[in-house]
Amino acid sequence: MRTGKEYIESLKQRNIKVYIKGQLLKSEEVVDHPFIRGHVNSAALTFDLAHDPAYEDLMTTTSHLTGKKINRFTHIHQSVDDLLKKVKMLRMISQKTGTCYQRCVGFDAINALYTVTYEMDKKLGTEYHERLKKYLINWQENDLMVAGAMTDPKGDRSLRPGQQPDPDMFVRIVEKNDKGIIVRGAKAHMTGMVNSHEMLIMPTMGMAPDDSDYAVSCAIPVDAPGVIHIFGRQTNDDRKCEGDIDQGNARYGIVGGECLTVLEDVFVPWDKVFMCGETEFSGLLVERFACYHRQNYGGCKGGVSDVVIGAAAVMADMSGYGKAGHVKEKINEMIHLTESLYACSIACSAEGKPTASGGYFVDPLLANVGKHNVTRLIYDIDRLAQDIGGGLTATLPSESDLRHPEIGKYVDKYFKGVAGVSTEDRMRVARLIENMTGGTALVESMHGAGSPQAQKVMYSKLGNLEHKKKLALHIAGVAANKDK
Which residues lie closer than 8 Å to 315 by C-beta, 6 or more apart? 388, 389, 390, 393, 426, 429, 430, 433
Per the annotation, the verdict on 279 as an active-site residue is no
Pick the catalytic residue: 7, 33, 101, 104? 104
Residue 376's nearest CA partner among 464, 455, 319 is 455
Per the annotation, the verdict on 474 as an active-site residue is no
What residues does 218 pair with on adjacent strands?
201, 273
d(CA 24, CA 229): 10
Per the annotation, the verdict on 258 as an active-site residue is yes
d(CA 222, CA 229): 9
Pick the catalytic residue: 198, 287, 399, 444? 444
Per the annotation, the verdict on 104 as an active-site residue is yes
Task: Please report, for residues 115, 303, 435, the alpha-carbon distance to residue 349 in angstroms, rounded to integers and kept in the order given.
Answer: 16, 17, 30
d(CA 341, CA 327): 21
Pick the catalytic residue: 33, 214, 258, 437? 258
Which residues lie closer than 8 Å to 49 by C-beta, 6 or more apart? 55, 59, 93, 96
Per the annotation, the verdict on 444 as an active-site residue is yes
Task: Please report, for residues 5, 160, 424, 449, the alpha-carbon distance to residue 262 in angstroms, rounded to integers and kept in the order given.
Answer: 29, 20, 42, 21
Per the annotation, the verdict on 9 as an active-site residue is no
Query: Cα dihedral angle (187, 189, 190, 191), rounded to 10 degrees?
Result: -170
Pick the catalytic residue: 218, 259, 291, 300? 300
* Torsional class of 262: left (φ above 0), alpha (ψ -120 to 50), beta (otherwise): beta
The HSE-up count of residue 151 (CA atoms within 13 Å, CB side) is 20
Pick the catalytic residue: 60, 74, 191, 437? 191
Pick the catalytic residue: 229, 293, 338, 434? 293
Pick the catalytic residue: 33, 60, 100, 291? 100
Residue 374 one-letter amino acid: V
d(CA 272, CA 289): 18
Active site (catalytic) residues: 100, 104, 191, 258, 293, 297, 300, 444
